[in-house]
Structures are given as C-alpha cells and as structure tokens.
Amino acid sequence: MKKQLVAVLVGGLILFVWQFLSWGMMLVHADAFRYTPKQDSILAALEQHLGEEGNYMLPNVAPDTPPEDHQRLMEGFVGKPWATISYHKSLDMSMGMNMFRGLTADLIAVFLLTWLLLKFAQLDFKTCLLASLAVGFIGYLTINYLNSIWFESGSIGHLIDAVVQWGLIGAWLGWWLNRP
C-alpha cells in the first residue's frame, strides 16, 4: 500500500510539474491562444451582445429551430466566417483553486493508471512505459486530436504533452513499481 501511495504522489507531482512547465515556462501551447490588437473592441462587443457566460459557436441556429430546418439554415453559413467563443464576464487571476483542482486531477489519473498497471500479470519497466504512453495517446486521440479536427485548430502541443508527461509517468512507475 505504501508503495502505491508513493507511486501516486510522485507521479501526480510529475504530471503537475510538467503541465506547469508546458503551459507556463516552455510555452508548448503558445499558439493555442493568439493575440489581437483589437481585443478591447472585441471584448466590448461581446460584453454588449452576450448576456450569459458560456461557450458559443457562431454561427448557429436558435435552440427552438425545428430539426427539419436546422440543416438548411446551417448551409446558409457555408463559406462565411465562424468562431468559437468562451465568454466570461470577469477575469479572475487567482490560481489557487485551479492549481488544487489540477493537482487533484493529476493524482486521480496516476492512481487509475497505477491501479490498472498493478492488475497486469507481469509488470516490468517496458510494460509500464508502453502502457502509460498508450494511456496518453488514447487521451490525446479521443479528446485533443478529435477537437482539432472538428474545430480546425492545432494539437501539436497536446501531442507533445501526451508523449512527454505519460512517458515520464511510465518511466517513474516502471522503475518504482518494480523495485523489491
């Protein structure tokens, strides 16, 4: 039990530190959010026209549009500009709760991976590494890559994260869980 607890705690910290480095210091995701010098006028227009916080897909049809009219109306937007917007009324720079939630999610993810690995009949370093990378690739392919297809965005930063962070976790668990 102690071995599993150490595996999860150290693994969760490895994930957390990599994510901090990837998103903050190394700027692996730098082109995920671009800058526009017109941000003040765009934000003013959003504040004026969007009443509720939330995610918006533009263009779109009203929620009460009959299903038989939906496709026809959407076809009218083909070839025109479109955008996805995450709108919030107030920027909050306090990171404490976000960091706590991120670390908690990382610990749970490593706990689940460790639980899965310990179910293997034969567990060695290579198996831990490859299984961890498989988990990273599954997450990347079914979330980030699919989103990049549908929303026509880049996903290279997420691919780098999948390989590096889950490779580091696999190496850690492969070494730690196979110690006597």
pTM of the model: 0.86
Q: Is 161 within a domain? A: yes
Integer Cα distance of 168 and 52 in angstroms: 41
SS (H, E, C) 140-152: HHHHHHHHHHHCC
Between the CA atoms of 114, 117, 119 and 122, what dihedral angle is there, to the nearest 10 degrees?
-140
Question: Which residue is it, tokens 């034969």?
Answer: 122
pLDDT band per the 50, 70, 90 thresholds, residue 160: very high
- Structural domain count of the chain: 1
- 17-75 pLDDT, tens digit per residue, is 999 999 989 999 988 888 999 999 999 999 999 989 999 999 999 999 998 888 888 88
Contact 107, 13 (CB under 8 A): no
3-state secondary structure at position 41: helix
Q: Is 149 within a domain? A: yes
Owning domain of residue 26: 2-33+93-176
Integer Cα distance of 147 and 102 in angstroms: 21
